[in-house]
Amino acid sequence: SQKIEQNSEALNIQEGKTATLTCNYTNYSPAYLQWYRQDPGRGPVFLLLIRENEKEKRKERLKVTFDTTLKQSLFHITASQPADSATYLCALDMYSGTASKLTFGTGTRLQVTL
Amino acid sequence: NAGVMQNPRHLVRRRGQEARLRCSPMKGHSHVYWYRQLPEEGLKFMVYLQKENIIDESGMPKERFSAEFPKEGPSILRIQQVVRGDSAAYFCASSPAGAGRISGANVLTFGAGSRLTVL
């Protein structure tokens, strides 16, 4: 079965720096890879998605890359702010032909300090 | 335009009791998913439903757990004879049918979750 690995250790960075989070997966590449943000006590919120035939996607300060050869996605937050502190989850869209469901990684906690 | 509504937000049960968690999907969404999140663990898929149909229940424990999404009313996740290991946050998410999707992808809108504590 598909395994999704995200760095379980928290990532601590200084305000203004670029945060880079990694998502690795095994087996076959999904049709889509999505990134969500989760704050404590709340449900995940969708941020960005990238298709298997896309190399890079941007949205404001966010950038996602997708390398199907390495089976890896990188999630970048440029000019990070303390408000960016949260847990970031990657999710693979495993479409089976009749239904799709998202399989999530365990998430990486980002802490942005002043 | 209310999002995904889950209730109760917090539920305390004693071992052996039943827990019922409710989820009203976002307006216009016809697909409902239930996920479970244990402390320090990721979201684990449980079940995927459309109105009156269970599409995929591969993540549901074989016993004590059931889910439904009736024609009228919210989706219900039911846990019978709860045990301490059932303590977790249960998240419901919804998505539109294919035509309403972002770039064709199945983007989920999550509720705030229901936190079950079993004493």
| pLDDT tens digit sequence for B36-87 | 998 777 899 999 999 889 999 999 999 999 999 999 899 999 999 999 999 9
Higher pLDDT, B61 or B98: B61
Distance from CA of A70 to the nearest CA of B (A): 22
Which residues have C-beta within 8 Å of that of residue A43, sequence separation ≥ 6?
A: B4, B91, B93, B110, B111, B112, B113
Is a pLDDT exceeding 90 seen at residue B100?
no
Best of B31, B108, B110 to mutate (most A CBs within 10 Å, chain A)? B108
| Cβ contact B41–A106 (<8 Å) | yes
| Cβ contact B55–A102 (<8 Å) | no
- In angstroms, how far is CA A49 from the centroid of its own chain? 9
| pLDDT tens digit sequence for A15-52 | 999 999 999 998 777 778 999 999 999 999 999 999 88
> What pLDDT shows up at residue A112?
97
Q: Are B9 and B114 in contact (CB under 8 A)?
A: yes
Mark residue A74 as left, alpha or beta (left: phi above 0; alpha: psi -120 to 50; beta: remaining): beta
